[in-house]
Amino acid sequence: MTSEDLFAVTALNSWKLVVGRFDQSLAQLTDEQLQKQIAPGKNRLFYLVGHLTAVHDRMIPMLGIGERLHPELDETYIISPDKALPDPISAADLKKVWIEVNTRLTTAFETFRAADWLQRHEAVSEEDFAKDPSRNRLAVVLSRTNHLSFHSGQAVLAK
């Protein structure tokens, strides 16, 4: 394995580890537990999972992998705060969609060669990317992995 490939594998392992832990926690949550708030007056677990699913779904076009699978989640879980709108999806379906979106991403990441990770993502202009080539796909995946860790820390408090 080349050094470049090893960098890519190490970063991908980090994504898979954090997503995998969240998969496991989510699978164990009952519908009732998903309605609990992470702390008094804070977001429900359900909202948090909807939010993470929508944010990850947005990564699909952002990383040039394909079309979004579930843009219908944005209005409730990105644009609006918790409880502003009724949940447009059941708990069972949300769990399925979380897996579907992340499987789509991880499957694509596993086909990436080292050079693919260092390509521009769609949210940065060619001009800005020329100035700062660290604004690449890898940066997006590391950022989203940290975002998931951030909310995972909150999710465990609801237990």
Which residues are near a copy of itself by CB under 8 A?
1, 3-4, 6-11, 13-14, 17-18, 38-40, 42, 114-115, 117-118, 133-134, 136, 138-139, 142-143, 145-147, 149-154, 157
Q: How far is the CB of 23 from a copy of itself (least distance, A)?
A: 15
| Residue 93 neighbours by CB under 8 Å, 6+ apart | none
Structure tokens, 54: 């929508």
Q: Burial of 152 by CB count in 10 Å (0-12 exposed, 13-18 middle, 19+ buried)?
A: middle
Q: With respect to a copy of itself, which residue has the nearer C-beta, 89 or 141? A: 141
Question: Which residue, chain included where needed, has tokens 């991908």?
Answer: 12
Q: How far is the CB of 74 from a copy of itself (least distance, A)?
A: 21
- Of the candidates 19, 27, 9, the residue with the CA atom closest to the CA atom of residue 59: 19
87: three-class secondary structure by DSSP: coil
Q: How far is the CB of 120 from a copy of itself (least distance, A)?
A: 12
Q: With respect to a copy of itself, which residue has the nearer C-beta, 51 or 70? A: 51
| Residue 80 neighbours by CB under 8 Å, 6+ apart | none
Q: With respect to a copy of itself, which residue has the nearer C-beta, 75 or 132? A: 132
Torsion of CA 126, 127, 131, 133, to 10 degrees: -10
Q: With respect to a copy of itself, which residue has the nearer C-beta, 88 or 153? A: 153
Q: With respect to a copy of itself, which residue has the nearer C-beta, 39 or 79? A: 39
